[in-house]
Amino acid sequence: MKTIADIAKLAGVAKSTVSRYLNGGSVSEKMKQKIETIIEETGYTPNTFAQSLKAKKTNMIGTIVPRLDSYETSQTLTGIDNELREWNCHMLVSNTNQNVDREIETIYTFAKQKVAGIILLATQVTDTHLQAFSEINVPVLLVGQQHEDVYSLVHNDEEAGYAIGKYIIEQGHRRLAFLGVSEENIAIGLKRKEGFKRAIREAGGCEVHYFETGFTMSEATAGALAVFDGFFPSALICATDDIAIGAVKAAYKKGMHVPANISVTGFGGYDITAMMNPALTTVKLHFIEAGKTAARNIIQLANGQEIPKLTYSGFEIIARESVDKRFVPG
Amino acid sequence: MKTIADIAKLAGVAKSTVSRYLNGGSVSEKMKQKIETIIEETGYTPNTFAQSLKAKKTNMIGTIVPRLDSYETSQTLTGIDNELREWNCHMLVSNTNQNVDREIETIYTFAKQKVAGIILLATQVTDTHLQAFSEINVPVLLVGQQHEDVYSLVHNDEEAGYAIGKYIIEQGHRRLAFLGVSEENIAIGLKRKEGFKRAIREAGGCEVHYFETGFTMSEATAGALAVFDGFFPSALICATDDIAIGAVKAAYKKGMHVPANISVTGFGGYDITAMMNPALTTVKLHFIEAGKTAARNIIQLANGQEIPKLTYSGFEIIARESVDKRFVPG
DNA sequence: CTGAAAGCGCTTACAG
DNA sequence: CTGAAAGCGCTTACAG
C-alpha cells in the first residue's frame, strides 16, 4: 500500500505538496500534472483513518432504522445508498428493532464513530432524542417524522390522507372505517388520519368509525376482525399497506369479498400490493426518491451548507381493484 | 473529548499503561482499578481512527447486497446487524443493484476502508470475484452461494428442493411444472432444481416440465402465463416466493383457482406468504439465523480463528392452503 | 508556489 | 509491571 510519502518521493516534492494537490490547495500546474500521473500509475488512495484522525470526520453517513424488514425501510435505504455513492460516501446502517433506547444509544455511538451525518428513519421524537441531537456535534436529518427543532424530510402525510379520503368519497362510499395506528406516531397515526378527516368534513354526510391497531400484518388482521364486529362499512381505509393486507385477510376469514362486500385501501405503495387479488388501491409514497433527497440533504448539512428545515416528499393515488364504485342516491 | 493522554495524566501513569489496560496487557491490579474509575468518570472512549491507523483494521464489517428491497436481504441484514452489535461491530452496507461490476468495485472499496471482514450476499461467483478476494487482505464470507475456495454459508438448497419435491408428490401430484431461474445462479437456479429432480426420480411416474423466469414478481407472472400455455400441471413448484406470488397472480388472470385448479408452492418463507389468499405453502429458510451465523463466522475469521469452509443453514416446509391433496389411483 | 515540522490519538517494541 | 520514544499516514499553520 502506497502512502503519501511514497508519492511525494516519486514526484520529488514534499508530502505537503501532495496533500495540497489532493485537497485542492495551490500547486503549480506542472506539479499537478506530475502528481496526477504518479497517483494514477501507483493507484494510490489516501488512508481514510489518517485523514479522519486530523479532520475528525469521516465520509460515512450513519443511518438508523426501526426495522430492516419493511418495504419502506428497504426502499428508503436503496435511495440513500444510491445517492451516497455519487458523493463518495458510505452508509453505516443500524437497526434498532423499534427499541427507542437502542435508538438513542446508536445516535451516540455513531457520533463517536465520527460519522459525517446521521439520517434517522424516525418513529417518534422524544426529549431524549432532542438532547442527544444537541449533545453530539453531528448534523441529524429526520426522515418520516418531523420536529420543528430538527431538519426533517417527510412524506406529505396530511395531504396524502386527504387525497385518499377524497378519492374514496368520490367513489361513492359514505359508510367508512379508518384503521390506523397510535397517535404517538405523528406522521402515520395522526397526520394521515387528520388529512382523511379533513376530506370527510369537506364532503359531509359520512358515517365514519375509527379504529387502532399495530403495524404488523397479523396485528392488523386481528384489528380488522374487530372492525367487522358489529359495524359494516362499505370501505375500510388503512393507514399502511401492511395493515391493508392484514385487513383483506380478515375480510376473507369473515367470508367477505373484496371489493364486492367491502372496499379496502392501503398506504405506501408496496410492490406486493400490485400482486394481490384483488390488486390493492393505495397511496404510493416515493420512498426511493425520498431516500435520495435525504442523502443529498445530510451531505449538504455535513458540508455546512444550509437547507430548509422541512422538506416534503411526494405521493400519488394508485387506483386498482380493491375499491368498488358505489351509487350515491340523490 | 478526552484522549488517552488525559486519562494517563489523571491516573498519574504513562499513556502506554492506559493503552495496555485497554487492550488487556499486563497492568497491576491497583492501577487497573484506578484507571477503570477514571475512565468511567470521564466517559472516555478511545478514538477509533487513531486505533485503526495503527491496527490497520476497524470494527466494521462490510456487507454487500444485490438489492435492499427483498425479504431475504432484509432478514439476513437484520440477523447480521443484531449479532454484530453483540461484538461491538458495525455494519457497513452497500447495495449493488444486481450489478456485478459494482459488486467488484465495492469489494475493493471496502478493503480500502479497512473493514475487518466482508459478507457478500452473493448471486454468482466469477473469476473476477475470486481475484478480488485474493488481492484484498480481508476475510470474505459468501452467503447464499458457495464456492470451494471461499468461506461460504448456504441454505441447504438441494435438500430443501428435495423436501418440497417429496412433499408435493406425497400430496398426490404427478403432473408438475417447475418454475425456476437461470442456472447461472447455482443455489437458486441449479441446486433447488436438482434437489427437486432427485425427489422426482425417487418417486418415479411423474410428468414434469421445467420453465425459467426472472426474479421479480411481474417477470414471474409472465413466466407462469407461459407455463399455462398448453400444459396443465396439477402443481406448480416455484423457486422463490416472489415467483410463486407472480404465478398465483397469473393463475387468477387465467381464471384458475388456487389450489382447486392448480397447487402452487413457494420457496423462502416470506412473511407475506402467510397473508395471501390462499396462504402459500412454502419452504421456509431461516434468514435471520443465517445472518447471525454469518456475522459470527466473519468475526471469527477477522480474529484469525478457523471456521469450516462451508456452513449450512436450516429450512422447513410450511404446509398451508395453496396445495391440494390429490387422490392417486392404484 | 513549496517545504520542514508539529501534531491528530493511539499502539508497540524496547528498556528498565 | 511501567515508561519514553517512535511511528501509523495524513494535514496544517508557518516560513520562505
Cβ-Cβ contacts under 8 Å, B274 against chain A = 217-218
Q: Which residue, A274, A223, A210, A273, is CA-closest to A253?
A: A223
Q: What angle do CA A295, A297, A300 make, to 5 degrees?
A: 110
Model pLDDT, residue B330: 58
Model pLDDT, residue B83: 96
Q: In this model, does residue B76 exceed pLDDT 70? A: yes
Decide: CB of B55 under 7 A of nucleic strand C. yes
Query: A122 with A200, same domain?
Result: no
Grid cell at residue B311: 456452513
Q: How many angstroms away from the CA of B138 is the closest CA of chain A?
A: 14
Query: A231 with A171, same domain?
Result: yes
| Cβ-based burial of B16 (10 A; exposed 0-12, middle 13-18, buried ≥19) | exposed
Grid cell at residue A267: 398506504
Report yes or no on A14 lying in a domain: yes
Q: Which residue, B314, B311, B303, is CA-closest to B152?
A: B311
**8 Å CB contact of A49 and B82:** no
Q: Which residue has the higher pLDDT, A305 or A216?
A: A216
The CATH number linked to A41 is 1.10.260.40
Model pLDDT, residue B113: 82
Report yes or no on B214 lying in a domain: yes
The CATH number linked to A65 is 3.40.50.2300
Query: B163 with B146, same domain?
Result: no
Q: Which domain holds residue B130?
A: 56-155+288-309
Q: In this model, does residue B243 exceed pLDDT 80? A: yes
Report yes or no on B324 lying in a domain: no
Report yes or no on A194 lying in a domain: yes
A71 to chain B, any CB pair closer than 8 A? The answer is yes
Query: A222 with A111, same domain?
Result: no
Q: How many angstroms away from the CA of B232 is the closest CA of chain A?
A: 22
Query: A61 with A24, same domain?
Result: no
C-alpha dihedral (A100, A104, A109, A114), degrees to nearest 10: 130
Query: B167 with B266, same domain?
Result: yes
- The domain tally of chain A equals 3
Query: B213 with B282, same domain?
Result: yes
Query: A161 with A149, same domain?
Result: no
Model pLDDT, residue A49: 86
The H or E element containing residue A265 is strand A263-265
Model pLDDT, residue B137: 83
Query: A291 with A179, same domain?
Result: no
Q: In this model, does residue A117 exceed pLDDT 70? A: yes
Report yes or no on A107 lying in a domain: yes
Report yes or no on A120 lying in a domain: yes
CA A284/CA A268 separation, integer angstroms = 5
Q: Which residue has the higher pLDDT, B312 or A229?
A: B312
Report yes or no on B316 lying in a domain: no
Query: How large is the average pLDDT for residues B117-140?
Result: 94
Q: Give B1's pLDDT tier (boundaries 50, 70, 90).
A: confident
Round the average pLDDT of chain A to a whole number and report it: 94
Report yes or no on B318 lying in a domain: no
CA distances for B256 relative to A47, A322, B106, B228, B241, angstroms: 61, 19, 45, 10, 19
Query: How large is the average pLDDT for residues B91-99?
Result: 94
Q: In this model, does residue A80 exceed pLDDT 90? A: yes
Query: B264 with B183, same domain?
Result: yes
Q: Give B328's pLDDT tier (boundaries 50, 70, 90).
A: confident
Strand C nucleotides, any atom under 7 Å from protein beta carbons: they are: 1-5, 7-13
| Cβ-based burial of B2 (10 A; exposed 0-12, middle 13-18, buried ≥19) | middle
Query: A275 with A200, same domain?
Result: yes
Tens of pLDDT, residues B24-42:
888 999 999 999 999 999 9
Q: Which residue, A161, A177, A145, is CA-closest to A256?
A: A177
B75 to chain A, any CB pair closer than 8 A? The answer is yes
Model pLDDT, residue B135: 87
Cβ-Cβ contacts under 8 Å, A248 against chain B = 275, 277
Q: How many angstroms away from the CA of B206 is the closest CA of chain A?
A: 31
Query: How large is the average pLDDT for residues A23-50?
Result: 89
Model pLDDT, residue B246: 97
A86 to chain B, any CB pair closer than 8 A? The answer is no
Q: Which residue of A has its CA nearest to B246?
A: A275
Asked whether the beta carbons of A305 and A276 are under 8 A apart, the reply is no
Q: How many helices (H) and strands (E) does chain B have?
A: 13, 12
Query: A193 with A109, same domain?
Result: no
User: Please, which residues 239-298 of chain B have a Cβ atom closer than 8 Å to chain A?
Assistant: 245-246, 248-249, 252, 271-272, 274-277
